[in-house]
Amino acid sequence: MILVGLALLNTLVSATTERQSLLPLSSVSLNEEQIALGKQIYRQGFSSANHPVTAIVQGDVTFDGSQFTCINCHRRSGMGAIEGNRIVPPVTGLALYNSSDWFWTDIENLATRDTLTASPANPFSLSSGLAYRKRPAYTDNTLAQAIREGIDSNGQPFSPLMPRYNLAEQDMSALIAYLKTLSTQFSPGVTEKNIYFATVVTEEVNLDQRQAMLTVLETYFKEKNAQTRDETRRLQTGAFYHRYKNKAYRQWVLLPWLLTGPPTTWPEQLARYYQQQPVFAMVSGISTHYWQPIYTFCEQRQIPCLLPNTDWPKLPDKPDDFYTLYFSKGVSLEALAIAKQLARHSTPTMILQIFRPDTVGAAAAQMVHRTLSTAAIRDWSLTATTKLTVNSLSHQVQTSPTNIVIFWLSGDELVELTDWSTRRENSPQFYFSATLLNSQFTLIPQSMRDKSFVAHLYSLPTDLKPRSQRIQAWLQNRNISLINLKIQDQTYFASLILGEGIMHIKRYFYRDYLLDSIDHAEGMAIFSAYYPRLSFGPGQRYLAKGCYILELKNQNDEVIVNNSTWIVP
């Protein structure tokens, strides 16, 4: 379960979205420079002097505020979270500048509900599934007192775990100004009846792969909408929904965005699609090209992009990049794992990397260079017309002593290497990418297998069959053909993550809040067949952090895994 959503209404009244005018109008006309400083304090813990702020926790423990920033607990959206048995309340302007007459949450979903009891430091009480904490609305002065001294607007002390920050007047004003901007308006892509999502398909993706993804998405959306019909009716008849005017239930609308032509034209195409109909988030998506144009588009417009099917993700180059969530670093993670494995060699390593320019393989080769900057590495970039043969490979290996060859190539480019090991007494070791081989180890020439290693991001072959029973049963029960298990499994998992996140943000349609919620979805990892160890957490933009290095062996003309090593680069 995603527990972050349970702290949502700690300081909100029953109809917050209808009471936005209660936020002082002056708070929305603050200058951008002041808000930027407040954002820096909130997210990084650095003051106007560009020094870490100082704070006190547990009564007398002084620490560097950059180590315990506001965003760590109250999250990027400002909507709060649950940490252990502690409720971290929202700190948005709408929450702080409204009185809090009550706070409700789904107590049955609180794993620690028995420990949530009223006390001066935690003045909650439980009754009929509701938890109460009363306080008047904050003013700028009482909010400053709360931040500095740990006293709320009702005169009650905060938990000792809440830091007391030492902020100068300029910094305090800037932080308060920024809090007033957090989650003030619903994000685009939501109407009274619909919530819109996009999925991206680029034209080079073959029809089978497109169908594998789109059929799963369309089926999931259709079933999601069918399941909300009863809830929509209850909105009109149920007393609970009358009282709280809960309008969370909306039809999900999926918009496939087909991108054509070279990637340089994609930003313009994406902008046109978005202008025609803004979307709340992107879900899944598929491309064999570099994901960078789509990544940049989502970062610029702050659109969540959830778990695209890409082996060539754009790696974040700024600490504040936030909006794209990947399964892994793709082939780059395989490169990092191979580099770490080779760094363990006790003997000098002479590496030859083979790839074609302007491909994901070329990007992986550059990753090895950056990681093993002191190693002896030669690159062999094959031109469009160059064919890899035993003779050409032999020439490259003999050019300088080589004991490691890394193939950043697909399996169909290895077909001419069938008799390599019989031609050389001191053959090097070979490393391959499971992603580029499409996990088909039989594509490795039989004569090379006893000296071959494969970087493998996914579940071991012996584990995949039992782990994939859930997705295969889901497909079979819906009469969906098994076209590409990897794409269908990844797309189904992305759909589940979206559904879980939307469920927990309830009627508070803030994109940042959606991603904050998903950051706490660690319980969803079991639903992935292809990835053995997914982990979630704030600021983690890749769910899979590790990779197997598989040592292969040829036995009775079959490829078997002789040994496996799990590496987290």
Is residue 281 within 8 Å of 501, Cβ to Cβ?
A: no
Burial class (CB in 10 A: 0-12, 13-18, 19+), 508: buried
The Cα diameter of the chain in Å comes to 84
Predicted local confidence at residue 61, as pLDDT: 82
How many domains, the chain? Answer: 3
* CA distances in angstroms from 92 to 8, 20, 56, 70, 183, listed in the order given: 11, 12, 23, 12, 6
Partnered with residue 411 across adjacent β-strands are none
Residue 431: what residue type? Y
Predicted local confidence at residue 247, as pLDDT: 60
Predicted local confidence at residue 171, as pLDDT: 94
Burial per residue of 209-225, b for 16 or more beta-carbon CB atoms within 10 angstroms, e otherwise: bbbbbbbbbebbbeebb
Dihedral angle sign, alpha carbons of residues 537, 540, 544, 548: negative
Burial class (CB in 10 A: 0-12, 13-18, 19+), 310: buried
Indicate whether 303 belongs to any domain.
yes
Indicate whether 418 belongs to any domain.
yes
- Residue 193: name the closest of 245, 247, 250 by CA: 250
Pairing of strands 305-306, 324-325: parallel
Is residue 22 within 8 Å of 98, Cβ to Cβ?
A: yes
Structure tokens at 256: 């496939």
Instruction: Give backbone dihedrals phi and psi of 384, rounded to 5 degrees, phi first.
Output: -60, -30
Residue 15: what residue type? A
Answer with the one of 125, 149, 179 that is the final residue of a domain.
179
550 vs 562: CA distance, rounded Å: 7
H helix or E strand, kind and range, residue 511: helix 511-518
Alpha helices in 302-414 (DSSP H): 331-343, 360-371, 390-399
Are both 366 and 224 inside the same structural domain? Answer: no
- Cβ neighbours for 544, distance < 8 A, ≥ 6 positions apart: 327, 328, 333, 457, 531, 533, 534
Predicted local confidence at residue 418, as pLDDT: 85
Are both 58 and 118 inside the same structural domain? Answer: yes
Owning domain of residue 294 = 194-325+466-513
Strands (E), 404-557: 404-407, 429-433, 452-456, 547-555
Burial class (CB in 10 A: 0-12, 13-18, 19+), 455: buried
98 vs 12: CA distance, rounded Å: 7
H/E/C letters for each residue in 234-258? HHHHCHHHHHHCCCCCCEEEEEEEE
Are both 336 and 423 inside the same structural domain? Answer: yes
Indicate whether 526 belongs to any domain.
no
Partnered with residue 429 across adjacent β-strands are 404
Pairing of strands 130-132, 125-127: antiparallel
Residue 238: CB atoms within 10 Å: 13
pLDDT tens-digit profile of 388-418?
A: 999 999 999 888 888 999 999 999 999 999 8
Residue 358: CB atoms within 10 Å: 11
Predicted local confidence at residue 530, as pLDDT: 95
Partnered with residue 397 across adjacent β-strands are none
**452-456, strands of its sheet edge to edge:** 376-381, 350-355, 404-407, 429-433, 452-456, 547-555, 558-567
443 vs 160: CA distance, rounded Å: 60
Predicted local confidence at residue 100, as pLDDT: 66
Structure tokens at 346: 């006790």
445 vs 554: CA distance, rounded Å: 10
Are both 15 and 147 inside the same structural domain? Answer: yes
Indicate whether 528 belongs to any domain.
no
562 vs 539: CA distance, rounded Å: 36
423 vs 463: CA distance, rounded Å: 36
Dihedral angle sign, alpha carbons of residues 169, 170, 171, 177: positive
Indicate whether 232 belongs to any domain.
yes
CATH at 345:
3.40.50.2300
Residue 539: what residue type? G
Are both 435 and 363 inside the same structural domain? Answer: yes
Are both 433 and 486 inside the same structural domain? Answer: no
505 vs 501: CA distance, rounded Å: 6
Are both 562 and 425 inside the same structural domain? Answer: yes
Are both 447 and 477 inside the same structural domain? Answer: no
Predicted local confidence at residue 301, as pLDDT: 96
Answer with the one of 127, 155, 179 that is the final residue of a domain.
179
- Cα-Cα-Cα-Cα torsion 225, 227, 230, 236, nearest 10 degrees, comes to -40
Are both 555 and 421 inside the same structural domain? Answer: yes
Predicted local confidence at residue 425, as pLDDT: 64
- Residue 545: name the closest of 341, 328, 391 by CA: 328
- Residue 232: name the closest of 221, 217, 215, 246 by CA: 246
106 vs 246: CA distance, rounded Å: 15
Predicted local confidence at residue 442, as pLDDT: 92
Predicted local confidence at residue 234, as pLDDT: 60
Cα distance from N-terminal residue to C-terminal residue, the chain: 29
Are both 43 and 65 inside the same structural domain? Answer: yes
Are both 24 and 77 inside the same structural domain? Answer: yes
* CA distances in angstroms from 527 to 122, 222, 302, 303, 531, listed in the order given: 36, 20, 27, 25, 9
Answer with the one of 179, 209, 224 that is the final residue of a domain.
179
360 vs 227: CA distance, rounded Å: 41
57 vs 40: CA distance, rounded Å: 21
Is residue 548 within 8 Å of 460, Cβ to Cβ?
A: yes
Are both 357 and 479 inside the same structural domain? Answer: no
Indicate whether 185 belongs to any domain.
no
Structure tokens at 6: 């349970």
Average pLDDT of each block of 10 consecutive residues along the chain (569 residues)? 34 35 43 92 91 86 82 91 78 85 36 36 37 77 94 88 91 95 92 95 97 98 82 57 57 97 98 98 98 97 98 89 96 97 83 96 96 90 92 89 94 89 75 96 91 96 93 97 97 97 90 94 93 91 96 86 93
In three-state secondary structure terms, 105 is coil
